[in-house]
Structure 1
Amino acid sequence: MSTPKDNDFAERRSAALLAKQAMLEKFKTKPDENDPAVQAKIAERAARAEAREQRAEQKRIELARKKEEEAARLAAIEAEKAAEELARRAVADERVNRVVADEAERKAARDARYAARKQRKK
């Protein structure tokens, strides 16, 4: 695209210089902290930071709650396993006691037969 003929080099140069100076002024001037736009930006940043902190706190609370639930669930599982083991041991002990009692009864019966046989021989 060609430039119009009425813009000569000096005009283009001065326009570029003015644009450059305007950009420099934009960066040099610091907005006043009492400016409502600046105050709005500061308030918005503070609100975003507060919201971010609240989300992080909620996340920490949720994570702690989940850990507690998991610990409670694991404790319940362990208690259930312990109860099952106790029941299994009780059944095994009952069997052992029954076997011992049966053996004792058989021994007593055998001893009684032996004693009766001895009595008959005398």
Structure 2
Amino acid sequence: MKTQDTLEDRLDSAAKAKQALLERVKAKDPSKDPEFAARQEARIAAARAREERDAERRRARRAAQEQEAADRKARKEAQIAAEAERIRREEQERIDAQKRAQDDVLAAQKAALMARFGTRKKR
């Protein structure tokens, strides 16, 4: 070896190093390894199973959310119905109270007329 390498020598040695590295990588090519295919299939199967579990969780979460929304809607409708029933009952009680008050006023007026004029004799 010379004490001073020329540019051409350095380029040549770099090309040889790259070629050696490429040959080592090709020697370790996983596609030629029979265990690699089995490991790859196992990874693919695990990924599919994981995707299926995730999809099932998403479906379950969505179903729970829909059920919760339906429950909220049902509670709200029941609350509205109860409120409407309460308002109807209060209105009916108010009407009944007015009717009783009106009946009391009429009865008082009748009593006053009866006290004033009494019962008339038939002619």
Q: TM-score, normalised by structure 2?
A: 0.69
Within 5 A, what are the aligned runs for 1:17-56? 35-56=34-55
Per-residue deviation, 1:114: 1.7
Within 5 A, what are the aligned runs for 1:9-24? none
Unpaired runs of 5+ in structure 1? 1-30
In the alignment, structure 1 residue 114 sits paired with structure 2 residue 85: no
* Counterpart residue identity of residue 99, structure 1: Q
Q: Distance in 2 between matches of 1:76 and 1:120?
A: 62
Within 5 A, what are the aligned runs for 1:50-69? 50-69=49-68
Identical-pair percentage: 29
Unpaired runs of 5+ in structure 2? 1-30
Q: Distance in 2 between matches of 1:120 and 1:90?
A: 41
Q: Distance in 2 between matches of 1:90 and 1:44?
A: 68
Runs of 4+ in 1 over 2 A off after TM superposition: none
In the alignment, structure 1 residue 91 sits paired with structure 2 residue 102: no
2:71 matched residue in structure 1 = 72
Q: Distance in 2 between matches of 1:120 and 1:84?
A: 51
* Counterpart residue identity of residue 54, structure 1: R
Q: Distance in 2 between matches of 1:53 and 1:121?
A: 98
Per-residue deviation, 1:89: 0.9
Q: Distance in 1 between matches of 2:36 and 2:82?
A: 68
Q: Distance in 2 between matches of 1:78 and 1:119?
A: 59
Q: TM-score, normalised by structure 1?
A: 0.70
Q: Distance in 1 between matches of 2:110 and 2:67?
A: 63
Deviations 1:61-106 (Å, cap 9, x if unpaired)? 0000011111111111111111111111111111100000000001
RMSD (Å) for aligned C-alpha atoms: 3.2
1:105 matched residue in structure 2 = 104
